A and B are shown apart, each in its own frame.
Chain A
Amino acid sequence: MTESTSTTHSTDTILSLKDIQKTFGGIHALSGVSFDLREGEVHALVGENGAGKSTLIKTITGAYVPDGGSITVGGGEYEMLTPNQARQLGIGVVYQEFNLLPDMPVAENIFLTTPPMGRWGLIDTKKRAQQAYKLLERLGAHKHINPYALVKDLTVGEQQIVEIAKALAMDAHILIMDEPSAVLPSRDMDRLYKVVRALRDEGHGIIYISHRLNEIFELADRVTVLKDGQTVATKLVAKTDEDDLVRMMVGRELTDMYPPVSTIEPGEVLLDVRDLCIENTVFDINFQVRAGEVVGLAGLGGSGRTTIARALVGLADIISGEIAYFGQPARMTAASAARAGVVLIPEDRKAFGLILDQSNRFNITLPNLPQLERWKMILKRDEWDPVIRAIDDLGVRPPNPELDSGSLSGGNQQKVVLAKWIMARPKVIIFDEPTRGIDVGAKSEIYTRMREISQQGVGIIMASSDLPEVLGMSDRILVLHEGRMAGELSREEASEEAIMKLAAVAHENGASA
């Protein structure tokens, strides 16, 4: 692959960002990011979760208005772009969650914005299919993808190529690809790489965001590393190596953030998962969780972390396999799991964690009403003390039980979610992305609480894509690859590289589907 990365291309800069600033509610998401993209290059953008990659992308596509800095593109300099401007300037995005209409044919999805018109003001469907075919041919996918097929009948990899074709149909010459490989099964990866190279050779500039370092070396010409909303460095890929990148990406003092390791021996088995299969996503998962341990669940996007987390509390359709709570086979419904003391703290707080229109008191007591009842009645004075205690205990700010949960910051919302479940005295807590979108201070408080709870004999599963967090908190780490268990690492064995190796390139472990 070296020949393709070392090909000389024209070096005209087609997009340049200078000193971009963006804050959200006092938190600096971007503090002075500079970045440039040349014609005919694949420019990789790497960084940990929360480093500011997606904020940067949204600034380029006009979804966010930056607080400072300038964007130079298409011969003009702008303080901000609107989505329409960005599109007209030839900026196209291939999002991670696809923007295709599943019930429409491929060709129509590609030309949704600008269908070729024929006689009588009608869309020329034949021409549309032909043009779609030509675009797919450019991407080398014309043999697999029928322009007339409905998008819902395509595989994820094929949908991604349609998504790329759609961006091209809008005349994009700056293509932003947001973790395109994260959702792909490994067998589709080579096809994607081919497409990206073909586009680069046509002279497009491609911003390629990825977590997988090995594909950066295979694909990219240059790489920019972001950390904590700042550019660390931009380097030629040929002049760097994996260790170098990892050092630039991480390099944070872990000890400050994470509480000391567990001091107790793991106790009895609380949760026993045997041969768990969930349709199309999760296959033959086996593991146990013991009292007092924190088990990390790592894996790339689409590896089945969230699905397993949901399955453990009866929120996913289990095809086969068995889940036992405390040695007893469990009745898998959300209500019975909560009663048994197995609870899930979900990734998406707004959708599944809190009732945003209601007060903190309402949210915290919601699963705990039976223990607060007196004569089958819930009186405010009976709620008050436990709620105040829970709020103080977790340091929810502002510490007002009557405030709507929707008005709190992300970190404090997560504390409220935690508070409500701690009050329920669960035996197993499953965290899914416990600190996504949370500022550093709140993060460390949540980690401290997590460790405290586990020291009291609660079993904790932590599914997370944030590797430092997985490393900092877990007593042992289960790594998933495409819905299968790729391996288990003890605290001593674990490192970012070791996890990545299992998560991204686990072919030899029999994980190829």
Chain B
Amino acid sequence: MTSTAITKKRFNLFSGFRPSPRFVRGVDLAGQWAAPIMILVVMVIAAIVAPAFFNPINLKTVAIQVAVLGVVTIGQTLVLLNRSIDMSVSAVLALGAVIVVQTEGGSSIVSSLVLAIAIAALIGLANGLLVAKRHVPPFVATFGMLVFVGGARLAYTKGQASGTVPDFLRTISIKPIGFIPAALLVWLIVNAIVIFTLRYTRLGRWVYAVGGNPGAARYAGINVDWVLISAHIACSVLAILGGLLLSGYIGYVDLRMGADYNMNSIAAAVVGGTTFTGGRGNMFGTAAGVILLIMLLNLVVVLGLPIHWQYAMQGAVLVLATALQGFRQFLLSR
């Protein structure tokens, strides 16, 4: 007597999609562990197709690149944890290098470093204020900042960078300390500080609270805007630090310097398990994401492929990682 309603079958991957708990758990684990697993896979592949990858000189290059991107990505992760994003890191990074290199002749290295960090903090503050107080979509606010800071750098240098990279930067970047280059040590120290802060201090809890649920954080008496602004300031300052390490490593400053760091820092953070909806992700994941991305990019070079495959590689990694994390977040929040 009773006729069950017949729902029309149409081809739709997720219509009436009821995932099993095991499937959800699997996707969640994949999202968290994608980067470490892929690092092992890539290492095995590298050992087979490109043994030159493990050449000590190449490994040193990889280490320095990991350090530079790692420092920048720590900042990016902090911002992403707060449901924001920073598209201006590449411009800030390049600006910092330019400031230090161009002011080097006239003044001491300390004053030019202080100047660079102060400018970075100001840029971060501006980003944070736009996002937190004016409710500008973070992407737009920081992209506007990217254009502005990029323009400021061009206007300041008149389109050509001159000057030499101070020895101090060369030292903190490439001077070997034991087996490892100094930059890697800088990265490890920054990592230690940030991980400690996230784990053991109020501010760290607040970051996860604000990213996880800004409404609940506000009700809990947390100054949500202030946390978000702090994250943006930290991100810009870390971008400057990345820029200093980078200029110390390459030994000069040019107009295209650092242009890919927006892309790479976001891709590395997302591969490492940080989601765009905030509150999910950690620095170990980010470190793994950075190492994975740099290894992939380096493999392009070691294998002697045309350099533009690096772009395709970055794009593919970002698309896949975003799709995975987006799907994971979708499953977890059902």
Contacts and interface: CB of A to CB of B under 8 A. Distances in A.
Given A334-B221, A366-B220, A355 B209 contact: yes
Given A352-B215, A358-B209, A79 B4 contact: yes
Contact of B216 (A315, A343, A353, A379): A353
A357 B212 contact: yes
A21 to B, nearest CB: 14
A55 interface: no
Task: With a 10 A CB-CB cut-off, give which of A70, A76, A315, A357 has the most chain B CB atoms.
Answer: A357
Interface stretch (A245-253, A300-308, A368-376): A368-376
A80 B7 CA distance: 11
B222 interface: yes
Interface of A is mostly: mixed
B209 A366 contact: yes
Count class of interface residues, chain B: 20 to 34
B208 A358 contact: yes
Nearest to A366: B220
Contacts of B213: 351-352, 354-357
Contact of A338 (B2, B3, B202, B221): B221
Interface string B203-240: 00100110011011111111100000000000000000
A344 B216 CA distance: 11
Interface residues of A, number: 39
Interface in A310-364: 313, 315, 334-335, 337-339, 343-344, 346, 351-358, 362
Contact of B7 (A77, A82, A344, A353): A82
B274 to A, nearest CB: 13
B3 A344 contact: no
A369 B205 contact: yes
B23 to A, nearest CB: 17
A395 interface: no
A334 B218 CA distance: 7
Contacts of A358: 208-209, 212, 279
Contact of A373 (B2, B202, B216): B202
A339 B3 CA distance: 60
B219 A334 contact: yes
Contacts of B17: none
Interface in A74-101: 76-82, 85
Contacts of A343: 221
A346 B221 CA distance: 13
A79 B201 contact: no
A335 B221 contact: yes
B220 A367 contact: yes
B221 A337 contact: yes
A335 B200 CA distance: 21
A78 B7 CA distance: 12
A70 B1 CA distance: 11
A85 B279 CA distance: 39
A201 to B, nearest CB: 32
A458 to B, nearest CB: 17
A377 interface: yes
Contacts of A355: 208-209, 212-213, 216-217, 279
A378 interface: yes
Nearest to B208: A358
Given A334-B218, A334-B221, A354-B213, A85 B205 contact: no
